[in-house]
Each structure stands twice: as structure tokens, then as C-alpha cells.
Amino acid sequence: MDYHATTPLDPRVLNEMLPFLKGKFGNASSIDHPYGAVAHDAVERARERVARLIHAKPEEVIFTSGATEADNLALIGAAINYRGKGRHIITCTTEHKAILDTCKYLEQFGWKVSYIPVNKLGEIDLEKLNDAICPETVLISVMFANNEIGTIGPIREIGNIAKAKGVLFHTDAAQAVGHIPVDVEEMRIDIMSMSAHKINGPKGIGALYVRRHDPRVVLSSLIHGGGQERNLRSGTQNVPGIVGMGSALEVARKSLDREATLFMSWTSRMKSAFNAISGAEQNGHPTNKLPHNLNMYFPKVESKALIQAVNKEVAISAGSACTSQEVEPSHVILALGYPAERAHSSVRFGVGRFNTVDEVKFVIECINKAISHIRKIGV
């Protein structure tokens, strides 16, 4: 139930990857002999598959080591390349650390960052976003869907605002691609980060969509060397990973509608059951959210105690895996305007392809029992 942190590799994806971990070991840049040519063709096929899912052109997809690297490349790459226009970036308070920490990094070098607040449901304030745009603004970066509370952003609206003002628009879609429809053309997205392991693909592979026409986006690269990935990401390509990402997104493209309906029915079932627990409330938007996400506040139940009480049977988390080592309460729940107490008593559920309805029923039972116990002994 912690599928927002990561997901298991789909066996169909593994099968497509295996030849590239065995005999088909060529370097995708060594196209003068069959070993390299086979690897090159596989990389290009994967690029086409990724592009197809998001309505992009294959040449607009740049493979990276994951969404974190894609976020860094988007923000730092745009900041450096467009510094002549200005040094101002706009983002949102509920972003993933891969965005927030990259913004903090840029601030050290003189860039100004506006952090736009959200309301209680996690929706960004579009008026404040509009007002924050100034002649020095080079980039707006707002996530597609939140990794803790699942709220889906007004991506099309932000795309329109950015376009009207002549500002680039980046979105971190690590939790959205493959789970909900994403269309870079219709939504006027200029740059977009993706990750394979959130959608039953392998870890350590992701991609950045970089628009090539209307406008043609140019980013400075962060990694220099052999000039792979259109000079934007040097280094020998991770062929098995890239093949896995292409395969995972192709599987997702075919199963997206069916799975979204199924996962929504599971999270709705869990929500109804948990709502019967005294004081419980959902965090995030009740309907405009990722179908596989449910974030619940259980008053007087420390999330740490609840997670530990069930962790032999059920894997859940208090929030982002990248920050769950910290004692700090979730910055996302705090950004919704709630006190630290709510952030310390909220847990995230994420269902996925290899869960079953019986597991969903079991989780409801487990959580109910654990909460009664915790409240009785007063943890």
C-alpha cells in the first residue's frame, strides 16, 4: 500500500528488459556494428513509446536517471540558459523536494523563487500565480499530481497562463504519467519530468520531455561528455532501464482507464471505511485526485505508531519516502494550513497493479484494529 514510493516491476516489463541484460549488451551509441545498432533501435523504440503516451514527438524525450534528475535538469537547465531574460522562477509550496531543494540551490546563486501557496485541498492559488509573473520570470514549475495527498493540479490552466505570458511551464509528472491522462500538447506543457518506477517499471530511469516547437525550449545540460540524448544528458545510455521504461509506459497506456477505475473503487472503499473512525478526515482533494491515492488524518494516532503497529502485514507511510527519515512533519500537510499535529497523524495509502480487493479489505481491518488499540493505550 505504499505504491507512491515505488512499485514492483511488471513481469512483462522484466521480460522485455532481460535480453538487454544478457546477450544484447551493446552500447546504443556504437551504431556501426550490430551490437550497438540493436541497442540503439531498442532505445529509439522506447522513446517512441514514452512519447506516444504523453502526445509528444520522440525527439522531445530525453532519458535521465529518474524524475529527480529530470527536475534538476529542467530547473537548473532553464535557469542557466535563460538567465539573460531574468532570474525568477515560480513554484508551489507542496512540490516534491526534488523541486524545492533545486530552487533553494538556485537561490544561493542569486535566483529569486516565488513559492505559491495552496488551499486546504492542496489546490494552487492561480490568482497569486498570475500575479507573481514578472518580466524576469523564466519558468513556472508546478507538479501534475501531489505525491502525498494526490491532488491533481490545474495543469491546463497553468499552461494557458504561461503561454499567454511567454513564460516556460515545467511540471513534475512523476506520480501522474501512466496513472492519469497526460497530454503535453493539449495542456501546453513545455517541460515535464517522468519516472519509470512509479508505474511498474525499473528504478533508476526516468525522462524529461522538452518541447521542440512553439516554443523551442533550450536547456543547458548538467552532465557533460559524450553528447548522448541530444547533448542534454551525456553518458552511456542505460539500455535495459530505457527499454523497461518504454515497456512500462506502453503497458500503462493500454491499462490506464481500467486500472484508474479499479483503483478509485478501492481507495473509495477504504475512505468510506476509515471515515467511520472517529475524527478521521481525508487530506487533499476528495475527487480531483490520483485514483490510487488516499491520505487520511486519524486524530490522536501518531502516524509513526500506526505504521509500526501494522508494518509486519501492511506497508504504508507518513508521506514522501525521500523525507520519511526526517522527524520533521510533512511539509505538504503543513502547506495545506493544518497544524503540525495533523501532519504527525496522517498516513498515505497507495494502491497498485499487484494489489487485490482482498488485500484492500485486509488493510481496512488491520488499520481499524491498530487505531482502536493505539487509542486505548494512548500512544
Ligand X SMILES: Cc1ncc(COP(=O)(O)O)c(C=O)c1O
Under the binding rule (CB under 6 A), the answer on residue 206 touching ligand X is yes
Most distant pair of Cα atoms in the chain: their distance: 70
Q: Is 161 in the site for ligand X (CB under 6 A)?
A: no
Pick the piece of the chain touching ligand X (CB under 6 A) from 66-74, 120-128, 214-222, 239-247: 66-74
CB of 351 to ligand X, least distance (A): 16
366 is catalytic: no
Interactions with ligand X, residue window 318-347 (CB under 6 A): 320-322
241 binds ligand X (CB under 6 A): no
The binder of ligand X chosen from 1, 67, 92, 360 (CB under 6 A): 67
Question: Which CB atom, from 98 or from 301, has the smaller least distance to ligand X?
Answer: 98
Q: Is 147 in the site for ligand X (CB under 6 A)?
A: yes
Is residue 168 involved in binding ligand X (CB under 6 A)?
no
Query: Of the listed 92, 103, 134, 322, which one is catalytic?
Result: 322
* 185 and 157 Cβ atoms separated by less than 8 Å: no
Residues 81-120 that bind ligand X (CB under 6 A): 96, 98
Residues in the chain: 379
Give yes or no for residue 141 binding ligand X (CB under 6 A): no
From the list 60, 123, 172, 250, which residue makes contact with ligand X (rule: CB under 6 A)?
Answer: 172
Instruction: Output the smallest distance, CB 292 to ligand X, in A.
Output: 13
**Binding to ligand X by residue 68, rule CB under 6 A?**
yes
CA–CA distance, 259 with 255 (Å, rounded to integer): 6
Residue closer to ligand X, measured from CB, 46 or 366:
46
Listed residue (119, 183, 129, 197) closest to 151, CA to CA: 119
Choosing from 102, 195, 221, 247, the residue that interacts with ligand X (CB under 6 A) is 195
202 φ, ψ (degrees, to nearest 5): -75, 160
**Contact (CB, 8 A) for 137 and 125:** no
- Residues with Cβ within 8 Å of 175's Cβ and at least 6 positions away in sequence, in order, are 4, 143, 144, 145, 146, 147, 150, 198, 290, 293
Nearest to 309, CA basis, from 260, 247, 368, 224:
368
Contacts 24+ apart (CB under 8 A), 268-277: 269/360, 269/364, 270/294, 270/349, 270/360, 270/363, 270/364, 271/296, 273/364, 273/368, 274/298, 274/364, 274/367, 277/368, 277/371
Q: How far is the CB of 153 from ligand X (least distance, A)?
A: 11
* Nearest to ligand X of 347, 371 (CB atom): 347
To ligand X, the closest distance from the beta carbon of 151 in angstroms equals 12
Q: CA-based Rg of the chain, rounded to a whole angstrom?
A: 21
Amino acid present at 106: L
Q: Are residues 147 and 4 in contact, defined by beta-carbon separation less than 8 angstroms?
A: yes
Applying CB under 6 A, does 174 fall inside the site for ligand X? yes
Structural contact between residues 177 and 54, judged by C-beta atoms closer than 8 angstroms = yes
Q: Please report how close the Cβ of residue 198 comes to ligand X at its closest, in angstroms.
A: 6
What is the nearest approach in angstroms of ligand X to the Cβ of residue 237? 16
Residue from 42, 78, 143, 333 binding ligand X (CB under 6 A)? 143
Binding flag, residue 182, ligand X (CB under 6 A): no
Give the total of residues touching ligand X (CB under 6 A): 15
Which single residue brings its beta carbon nearest to ligand X? 66
Could you tell me which residues come within 8 angstroms of residue 58 by beta carbon, excluding any fewer than 6 positions away?
44, 47, 48, 50, 51
Single residue of 66, 153, 240, 291 touching ligand X by CB under 6 A: 66
Give least dist CB 179 to ligand X, A: 11
Q: Is the Cβ–Cβ distance between 4 and 195 less than 8 Å? A: no
Nearest to 14 by CA among 22, 5, 6: 22
d(CA 81, CA 76): 8
Q: Which is nearer to ligand X, 158 or 309 (CB)?
A: 158
- Residues taking part in catalysis: 322
* Site for ligand X, rule CB under 6 A: 66-68, 96, 98, 143, 147, 172, 174-175, 195, 206, 320-322
